[in-house]
A and B are shown apart, each in its own frame.
Chain A
Amino acid sequence: MNEKISILKYGLGNTQSLANALEKMQIQYEWISKPKQIQKAKKIIVPGVGNFGTAMKNIRRQKLKQSLTQAVQTGTPYLGICLGLQILFEESQESKGIKGLGILKGKIQKFQGKEKIPQMGWNRIQKIKTSPLFEKIPNKAFMYFVHSYYAKPKDKKIVAGTTEYGETFPCVIQYKNIYGTQFHPEKSGTLGLQILRNFAGLRK
C-alpha cells in the first residue's frame, strides 16, 4: 500500500486536474496548506502554473518556507510540477528581487531561442540519467508543456531529462528525494499518469 500523497495548496493554478489524475489511478491524496501538515506529510506534490513571484509570496504568507525546506532536507519525497519545480531554486528572471526556496542551487531563466513563447504543447523528453520517475517511460516520450521559463541548475548532475525547444533545457530534475518536472504529468495522457504513479510508489 502506497503512502498518501499530500498536495500543497497555495492559491495557484488548476490543481484539481492533479487530484483528478491521482483519483483515476486510485492513489490516496489530501490537500495541505499549513506548516504542521507539511511536517506530517509522507510525500508532497507541489503543483502550480503562474508567476514565480506570486508563488513565493503566497508561500511566505502561509509561512510554508521553513517547513517545506525542512521536509525536503529530512528526506520526504517532493515532486514539483512546473512552478513547483522552479521555486526550489534560488531566483527567477520572471520576478527579480524575489528569492525562491533556494533548496537547489541555480536560477530560473527565460527561453532565448527563436521558438514562440510560451512553449505551449507537446514535446519529447530525452532521458539522460536513470530515475525512478522514468519507470516504464520510453525515451523521447511526449509530455505537455506550458511555460516561458526553465530551471538552470548549477550542478548539471541533477538534470535527469532534457527537452529541445529552440535550445536544450532541463525538463526533469532529480536530486536524492527531490523530483521536478517542467511539464505537466497530469495533462500528459497515459504516460504522464505513469510518472505520477512512479512518484506515488516512492518511499521516504
Chain B
Amino acid sequence: MKTIRIIPCLDCKFIGKKATVVKGIQFQSLKQIGNPVDLAKKYYNQGADEICFLDITASQESRKTMLKTIKQVSQEVFIPLTVGGGIKSVKDAQKAFQAGADKVSINTAALGNPELIQEISQQFGQQACVIAMDVKQIGKEWLVFSYGGTRNTERSAIEWAQTAEKLGAGELLVTGIGNDGMKTGYDNELLKKINQKVKIPVIASGGAGSLKDIKNGIIQGKADAVLIASLFHFNQFTVQEVKKYLTKKGICVRL
C-alpha cells in the first residue's frame, strides 16, 4: 500500500557559523523561524516522514555549517534526511552523505552539468539523488529557472523532468515559483503534467497555505509527497494534524 509522505522543509540561512531556518515568499523577503536542529526534532516527534534541508546561502562557508547541522540532526532524528543547496559535485554529495544525509537535492548544478545526476545515482544509488526544479508558467509553457529561481533557462519543465529521470534521478522536487510562500496552493496542473510523463516519485513544493491545498496537491496534482514549510513553521498545524485531516479525506498516510 502506498502512503503519501509529509515532508517539512527547512530553508536554512547561515550567518557566520550560525544556522537559522527562514521562510521566504516567492523566494524573497525572509522571515527568521528558529534553530534547524530544534525544528527538525520537533517535526520528527510530530510524525514527519522525512525532513528536507535547503541551504539558501550556498556559500563555501555555509556548506560547512550545513554539514555540521546535518550531523547533529542525524544523531537525534531517525527518518530520512535530504540536503540541498550548493551541491555541485560528487564530492559535495559524498560529504553530505558522510554527515548523515540520505539524499541530496540538486538544482542549478544539474542543469549546467546533467552528467552529475548520472554520477551521483551510480555511486550512491538512484534513491539518493533528488532533482529539484523551480518552475514558472510563462504563457502556455512551464519553464525551469536556475540560481534560486532568478534565471530563466528557457528549458521546458516536462522535458527536463524526463531527462533527469533518464539520467538516474530518484525523485523530482517540483516548486512552482509563482506559488511559493503565497499560500494559494501548489501548481497542480504542472505537477499532474510531470507525473504523467515520469515514473519516479514527484514531490509537490511551494504554496501550501491550507489543509485543502495539501489535499489538492495529492489528488489533483497526483503528488507522491508534499513539502510543507510555512504551515508548520508558523504553527498553523502540526504534522499529526495534517495527517489526520488527510486520513479523513481517504488519503493513505503513516499515522
Contact = CB atoms under 8 A, between A and B. Distances in A.
User: Is the pairing of A and B real?
Assistant: yes
Interface of A: 13-14, 16-17, 20-21, 23-24, 49-51, 115-124, 142, 144, 146, 164-165, 186-190, 192-193
Contacts of B99: 16
A81 B108 CA distance: 34
Most buried by B among A21, A121, A190: A121
A115 B200 CA distance: 10
* Interface size, B (range): 20 to 34
B74 interface: yes
Contact of A13 (B2, B124, B126): B124
B75 A189 contact: no
Contacts of B5: 121-122
A121 B49 contact: yes
B74 A116 contact: no
Contacts, number: 88
Given A49-B127, A187-B80, A123 B74 contact: no
Contacts of B24: none
Contact of A164 (B1, B74, B78, B170): B1
Contact of A20 (B49, B100, B128, B225): B100
Contact of A14 (B76, B78, B97, B200): B97
B11 interface: no
B127 A118 contact: yes
Interface of B: 1-5, 44, 49, 74-76, 78-80, 97-102, 124-128, 170-171, 199-201, 224-225, 254-255
B100 A121 contact: no
Contacts of A193: 78
A121 B126 CA distance: 14
A102 to B, nearest CB: 24
B154 to A, nearest CB: 29
A192 B2 CA distance: 19
Nearest to A143: B254
